[in-house]
Structure 1
Amino acid sequence: MEITLQHFLMTLGDAVVISDVSGNITLWNAAAERLFGFTQAQALGASLDIIIPEKYRQRHWTGYGNTMHNRMTKYHASLLRVPAVKQDGSLISIAFTVALLPGIKKEDSLIVAIIRDDTANFNEHKKG
């Protein structure tokens, strides 16, 4: 049985979001639709700002720009936890790993994020 990368990404249980050097979304799988509420049609070509709470955008874009400029991420296999915003405006906590896929030319590089909803875990730690 031949399984394509596209099929794998679209059926994966974790959200997969891929963005280009400008931070525009180039891949948005079904799990991302379920997690954030935006359809693939709404997300593709949109800025990552659709899921980044406004008060965190400057910090995000500074790090994103550094990653693209240096063509490397300092996070590698680190599990990152940050707030995110859903289509309905509600905030959730997400946990994700990120990888840089460097292009031959800097402008062809991509960022891949594998994302899970971490809200329950965040709320549990906040209580205790």
Structure 2
Amino acid sequence: MEPMVDLQELISRAGDAVVVCDVHGSIILWNRAAERMFGYTEAEALGQSLDLIIPEKLRARHWDGYRKTMATGVTRYGADVLQVPAIDKAGRQFSIAFTVSLLHSADGAVTAIASIIRDDTRRFEKDRAQRMRISELEALLTHAQKVTGI
């Protein structure tokens, strides 16, 4: 006997944010993890544009890519993780990592796009600190080589 899976409960209880938007970019699904991550309740988010969580300076680029994906039915972020800044209800900017899945109607037309999103701020800050430290060490090495003539 196959186990019964309640997809609504799975999405509701997922640790990562699950956000689904229609072809126009209006939010049609917003789970509890999205509420925690972005600060908007489901009632506040449903029907809203994704601009709700996209920093203003990135919106034009986002929408260019979104429209292209909806028109072509092709995305490069289905398997690759995309890392970008996001904003929450309080206006705090933070780093997210996500993948997307295109959803199709029975005739194959793209009807929606689902995103699985994780707050990636800690990893991003750790990577940035490591890059800064490497740059500092490289500068020290270069200086030491100049001073010693090596």
Q: In structure 1, what is the equivalent of residue 126 of structure 2? A: 124
CA distance in 2, matches of 1:81, 1:21: 22
The amino acid that maps onto 1:17 is V
Identity score, percent:
51
Q: 1:72 to 1:102 in 2, by over 3 A?
A: farther
Q: In structure 1, what is the equivalent of residue 148 of structure 2? A: none
2:88 to 81, 86, 89: 86
Task: Give SS of 2:122's match.
Answer: helix
Instruction: Specify the structure having the higher radius of gyration (Cα).
Output: 2
Deviation at 1:76, TM superposition (A): 1.8
Are residue 26 (structure 1) and residue 11 (structure 2) matched? no
Are residue 16 (structure 1) and residue 14 (structure 2) matched? no
When structure 1 is superposed on structure 2, of 4-13 and 97-106 the one drifting more is 97-106
Deviations 1:7-60 (A, max 9, x none): 110011110000000000000000000000000000000000000000000000
Task: Give SS of 2:78's match.
Answer: coil
Q: How does 1:46-57 map to 2 (within 5 A)?
A: 46-57=48-59
Deviation at 1:72, TM superposition (A): 1.8
Q: In structure 1, what is the equivalent of residue 61 of structure 2? A: 59
- Whichever structure has more helix as a proportion of its residues is 2
Please, which runs of 5 or more residues in structure 1 have no aligned partner? none
Please, which runs of 5 or more residues in structure 2 have no aligned partner? 131-150
Deviations 1:44-99 (A, max 9, x none): 00000000000000000000000000012122210110000000000010000111
RMSD (Å) for aligned C-alpha atoms: 1.3
**TM-score, L = length of structure 2:** 0.81
**TM-score, L = length of structure 1:** 0.94
Task: Give SS of 1:10's match.
Answer: helix
Deviation at 1:105, TM superposition (A): 6.8
